[in-house]
Structure 1
Amino acid sequence: MWNFKPPFFRGTNQSRITWSATVRSSLTVWDNNYWLDINYLHIAKAALSCSAHFSAVFYAEIWCNYQRIKQEEALKKSSSLSEVVSQSFTQDSQVDSLSSVSGEVTLNVQDLLLEAYRQIGDPDGVYGCGAGRLPDPVSRIRMYEHEGQWEKAVITYDIGLQQHSQQEVDLLKALDSFGSKNLLDSYLENYPNPKSGAIRNLIFKSAIKVGKWDLNMDESSECSFDEAVHRSLCTLKHSQFSIVSTALDMARKNALDRLRDASMESCRCLYPILSDLQCIYQIDQAVRAITGFVLTEKENGLSYLYHQ
């Protein structure tokens, strides 16, 4: 059997402690905390896909710092560029220069940070990622949406629709956010009857906003939240109170399923779900008030007949 011991395991315990202390003192804080040789940009991309947006920003910044250190060390080796080192990584150009380095990943670091900050709801974080300087139309659109400039987003979507037909759903969502409810409804009125998907949800959402209750839509096995709310309001309009509760239960289940799967890193993603639950509560209260009024009228009528 081999009985080999490395030099740092030979000798007394005191010598081992001395060697360990010497090695630790020679390491930097960065070496002590980030000693694994891994690509943190891959971890940031995985965190973004899991809706862990704060973790995505954290690991993306670690990757940026690691790349910055490597580039600074490469620049310091050249004496002619020693003065450029302190000027090469300004706040405006650092992320732009590192974005080209992250080309081996499908989503580069600049797009990743923009998406993470947009999902977090940080009003200023996107500007630190160079959002206003990106020539990419998709990044421009995300910037317009972040700033609430829906008219510019609609125009940019319309221009890009000639090349990318998959942007149609995003264009319709932008029209909805822009407030063009009747224009959106007119567009969706002649749309082919979709069985599921984002277009179907938009049809029911638009119908609720414009008060259209006579949709000729085939019922889907997987009922979305907007479709369930539309069903509940239609049955409420026609005083079919026994069916309203069934539709509200479907809407409530959809909202609770989304709440269960939501990320706990940021409360911003919970706001739309809580708004949907509040909507269900308001409809339920309306049903209770109307049914209570109907029962009261019936009781008063029976009481009048009895006394007669």
Structure 2
Amino acid sequence: PQLQLDYLKIAHAALYCSNFYAAILYMELWSSQTRAVNPGGCTTLDSIFETETADITTIIRTTLKQSFTALGDLYALYGSNFFDNLHPEDGLEAWEQLSKWDEVIVDYDILIANGQTDKTAALINAWKNYGCFSTATLFKGPQIDYECLWRLNRFNNDDFKGTPTDPYEKSKCESLKWLHENDYGLFNAAIKDARQYVIEAIRRTSLERTKDLYGCLTKLQSIQELEDAANAKCDLGLQSLLLKWKEQDCLAKIDFQSIEPIKAQRISILNALAKNSQNDSKESLMELYLDLAEIAKNEGYFNVAKRAVRNLHCLSQGSQKYDCLRIFQEAQISWLMGNKMRAKYLLKDLLKTNENDPRLKFASLKMYGKWMAETRSESPDTILNDYFLGSLKIIRGIDLTNKDKQNVFATYDVIARFADAEYERILSYIRSTEFERKLKNMEESKRTASKIESQNKNLSYDQRRAATIHKKQSLIDETEIENTYRERDTYWKLAMKYYLISLQDSDIGDISVFRVLSLLLENRSFKGSENLLEECLPRIPSYKFIPILPQLAPHLTNSTKDDFGKLVARIIGKKLKTTITV
């Protein structure tokens, strides 16, 4: 007889053995065995939670939650509506796992207000994770969070009295304290203790728990950089330390939570070096704040980015360069956080005051143009000419670095997409019933005016007036219609131009070759764009046409009257022949 296995119990056993992939695998096998036909649009997980007993759903919930948490794939649960099936008391833990610390703080505050004072430590931890380190230190208790202390550069002896929440963070805080005070004997002792704690953590870490492994590697890197900083203070100097940091930053990034502690520690290190009369440390510190703000903004950690730019504000006073860079970052952060009025005010003010840095003005104009396009706050012509094309005029006036060239190529892609969006908007209007009515009204007004004028030369005053009104109205409508068609053609040509330029000069928008084909199919005669196509197509690398070969082939023709067919034949014959042969 076939062996019958209870995959649910095997999955739970695999979880107990920290074999998380196996736990998920056997959970999937169990669900495929036991699930019935899903009612309506229910997912498998919803169906199981509705039909199984409470004991079984508890095992499922525990196994999935702990396995995906350990593997660092929380959004696998979030995307499967797992949290919809949590008990109410488990919802707070779900917010913690998803790093929704604003929700966590509110929930813990409600619990404490209702008498659960044992949640105070958890609330303090939530404040810390939310980035409010000063607030977290206001709560006095038997335990001390040393991470908050070193992030705030608070190294007073009075703050070091209490049980640490994390021994590693205590040793790290002590090492930074002794680095600030130039006591290298105690510094080495603290570093030794910190390294020992990390080694012990690695011994207890499962190789399947990648998130924990990254955390240990981050701590080891932090220890190494502390030792490098001590050497820099003694004899090697600041530049050797900055060079090591630059080389380290060239490595592939894992996730922001692994990068941020190292960046924060570097800030504390530079503060220590500033006390040692390192004149270059202030500028390096401002660069570090800018770098942290940029990374945090891109990763969606807006509170971290906001703290970085506010700290930079305290340092950058008197430095126009860094003050302008700070305003640029603060404007972007404000926009992403939903404060769009402040963002536009900051960036518009920056455009008025910044005249000495063409690269920053280029970036500011392009960013402001994107915001205006997103909110439709200004006319398309203004956005295109004053911001997008205006930014290109500025950057072309300087010697371009490789990074500048990449930014220019990215701007080409932005212009192409903007023009394409305007072309689609106008095309949608042309296909609308409103535009059809305008065409009919124009023709009707022309016919009416012509009919009145052809009746008799001895027209009454009212008849002449009616004919004049109809004629003027038809001219107004005709002008509007011609302008609409002209705008459509203009934006079509602009989209084609910058898509083609982007394709020939960079790899940023390679997928736009599909859009180029679509635009050509919508205007098969490509009237007015012959020179553009003749100029740009030969310069585009052949391999970029490979993805659209199946769409091009059906349009091959021997007809000499089909301009598009001739273009397809030229592309396939001249551009793809060599590539396909190779």
Name the TM tier (shorter chain): 0.5 to 0.7
Query: After superposition, where does 1:9-48 map in structure 2 within 5 Å?
Result: 31=2, 35-38=3-6, 40-48=7-15
Counterpart Cα distance in 1 of 2:172 and 2:196: 12
Alignment partner of 2:87 out of 118, 136, 139: 136
Q: Would the alpha carbon gap of residues 60 and 88 (structure 1) be closer, same or farther in structure 2, given more than 3 Å must change?
A: farther
Aligned residue number for residue 128 of structure 2? 176
Q: Distance in 2 between matches of 1:293 and 1:57?
A: 51
Name whichever structure is richer in helix by fraction: 2
3-state SS of 2:138 partner: helix
| Cα pair distance change 1:97/1:232, threshold 3 Å | same
8 Å Cα contact 2:164-2:170 kept in structure 1: no
CA distance in 2, matches of 1:153, 1:61: 31
Paired amino acid for 2:8: L
Helix, strand or coil: the match of 1:90? coil
Distance in 2, Cα, partners of 1:278 & 1:54: 28
Q: Which residue of 2 aligns with 1:97?
A: 50
Query: What's 2:407 paired with?
Result: none
Aligned sequence identity (%): 20
Relative contact order: is structure 1 or structure 2 higher (C-alpha 8 Å, sep ≥ 6)?
A: 1
Give CA-to-partner distance per residue, 1:125-148, whole Å, 9 cap, x none. Answer: 113553342363443223333443
* Pairing 1:154-193 to 2, within 5 Å after superposition: 154-161=105-112, 162=114, 164-187=116-139, 190-191=140-141, 193=142
Q: Does 1:238 align with 2:205?
A: no
Give the AA of the match of 1:57: I
Counterpart in the other structure of 2:78: 127
Displacement of 1:287 in angstroms is: 0.8
Unaligned runs of 5+ in 2: 238-582
1:207 to 149, 167, 184: 149
Alpha-carbon distance between aligned partners in 2 of 1:115 and 1:223, rounded to the nearest angstrom: 22
One of 276, 280, 290 as aligned partner of 2:219: 276
Distance in 2 of aligned mates of 1:222 and 1:158: 21
Letter in 2 for 1:152: E
Shift of 1:37: 4.3
Quote the offset at 1:207 in angstroms: 0.7
CA contact (8 A) 1:96 1:110 kept: no
* Unaligned residue ranges in structure 1 (runs of 5+): 1-22, 24-30, 73-84, 195-199, 295-308
Letter of the 1:257 partner, please give it: E
AA aligned to 1:169 is A
Amino acid at match of 1:258: A
Aligned match of 1:53: 20
Partner of 2:490: none
Alignment CA distance shift 1:67-1:89 (3 Å): farther
Rounded Cα–Cα distance in structure 1 between residues aligned with 2:115 and 2:66: 23
What is the CA-CA distance between 1:150 and the residue it aligns to?
1.4
When the two chains are superposed, the root-mean-square deviation of aligned CA atoms in Å is 3.1
Q: Distance in 2 between matches of 1:253 and 1:222?
A: 17
Q: TM-score, normalised by structure 1?
A: 0.65
The alpha carbon displacement at 1:104 in A equals: 6.2
Q: 1:111 to 1:130 in 2, by over 3 A?
A: farther
CA contact (8 A) 1:44 1:60 kept: yes
Q: 1:124 to 1:231 in 2, by over 3 A?
A: closer
8 Å Cα contact 2:39/2:47 also seen in 1 = no
C-alpha distance in 2, partners of 1:95/1:145?
A: 25
Q: Of residues 12, 21, 30 in structure 2, which corresponds to 1:63?
A: 30
TM-score (structure 2 length as normaliser):
0.36
**Contact 1:95–1:130 (8 Å) recurs in 2:** no
2:202 partner amino acid = L
Residue 196 of structure 2 aligns to which amino acid in structure 1? K
Compared CA separation, residues 144 and 87, structure 1 to 2 (3 A): same
Partner of 2:389: none
* Distance across 2 between alignment mates of 1:175 and 1:220: 19
CA contact 1:144–1:150 (8 Å) conserved in 2: yes
Deviation at 1:88? 7.5
Distance of aligned partners of 1:101 and 1:112 in 2 relative to their CA distance in 1, 3 Å threshold = same
2:352 aligned residue: none
Go from structure 1 to structure 2 and tell me whether the alpha carbon gap of 1:112 and 1:67 turns closer, same or farther (over 3 Å shift). Answer: same
**1:258 Cα deviation after fit:** 0.9
Give 2:232's aligned residue.
289
SS in 2 for 1:87: coil
How far, CA to CA, are the matches of 2:69 and 2:101 in structure 1?
A: 15
Say whether residues 1:145 and 2:145 are aligned partners.
no
Match of residue 333 from structure 2: none
Deviation of 1:221 after TM superposition, in Å, equals: 11
Measured against aligned partners, the alpha-carbon deviations of 1:46-92 in whole angstroms (never above 9, x if no partner) come to 43344432222223223333432xxx4xxxxxxxxxxxx45389315
Which residue of structure 2 lines up, in the alignment, with residue 252 of structure 1? 195
Distance of aligned partners of 1:60 and 1:278 in 2 relative to their CA distance in 1, 3 Å threshold: same
Quote the residue 1:197 is aligned against. none
Q: What SS does the aligned partner of 2:122 have?
A: helix
How much has 1:178 moved relative to structure 2? 0.8
Instruction: Write the distance in 2 (CA, Å) between the matches of 1:135 and 1:223.
Output: 30
Secondary structure of the 1:264 match is coil
Contact 1:131/1:140 (8 A) holds in 2: no
Q: Does 2:267 match 1:267? A: no
Structure with the greater alpha carbon radius of gyration: 2
Q: Deviations over 1:146-168 (max 9, x none)?
A: 44321112111222344655543
